[in-house]
Chains A and B, each alone.
Chain A
Amino acid sequence: MMRFELSDACIDASALSRALADAGAGACVTFEGWVRNKNAGRAVHRLDYQAYGALAAKEGEAILAEARDKFPIIDARCVHRVGSLAIGELAVWVGISAAHRDAAFAATRFVIDEVKKRVPIWKNEHYADGESGWLHPDNTPVAT
């Protein structure tokens, strides 16, 4: 089963949460990354996400497998958008179910941090002044 997905359509967070349901789960923690209207003081109009699909899927699955090895959780899922996104849209969703909340919180943090660090996805910000630019993981611009 694929637990990590790239999606070019809107993410349905409530459907994804329901899919984590498990009789043994006492906790479900989800994280939503939203498109923000500002970065490093500049007004942002929209974002484009580009991915190396085949490798992103593999690396995303590897991160979720690591989360299941590292933390006592029941399930781990992640969906990341690709394509053009407007301000306020859901860009990335992480959901973890576990017997107890400590593991669910810790695994959620682990997954989103590793996804941002390792999965071959790139963000191109389009600014209000008409410029655009690819970003680094720390949200500083790639030098051109």
Chain B
Amino acid sequence: MNYRILYFASLRDAAGRDAESVASDTHDARELYAQRQREHGFVLAADRLRVAVNGEFAAWNRPLADGDEIAFLPPVSGG
């Protein structure tokens, strides 16, 4: 599967990019995050994040499909 992944805040700084396209064998968002974490050395555990798929908040157990755009969202701090 090919995924587009968006990064924000501390994850964007750690990855050194705001987005990337990756090929992965997993349909599982938690596993996909673990793969990107190994690649970029993210400090934040998945438990601290929310996930969004194609511009909507999603459950971590929602199966991913080829071509999905996935965002791993650190705890927010607007206002």
Contacts and interface: CB of A to CB of B under 8 A. Distances in A.
Contacts, number: 77
Contact of B74 (A58, A116, A118, A134): A134
B6 A134 contact: no
What range describes how many residues of A lie at the interface?
Answer: 20 to 34
A7 interface: no
Interface in B21-78: 43-44, 52, 55-57, 71, 73-78
B10 interface: yes
B76 A50 contact: no
B79 interface: yes
A120 B8 contact: yes
Interface of A: 33, 49-52, 54-56, 58-59, 80, 91-92, 112, 115-124, 134-137, 139, 142-144
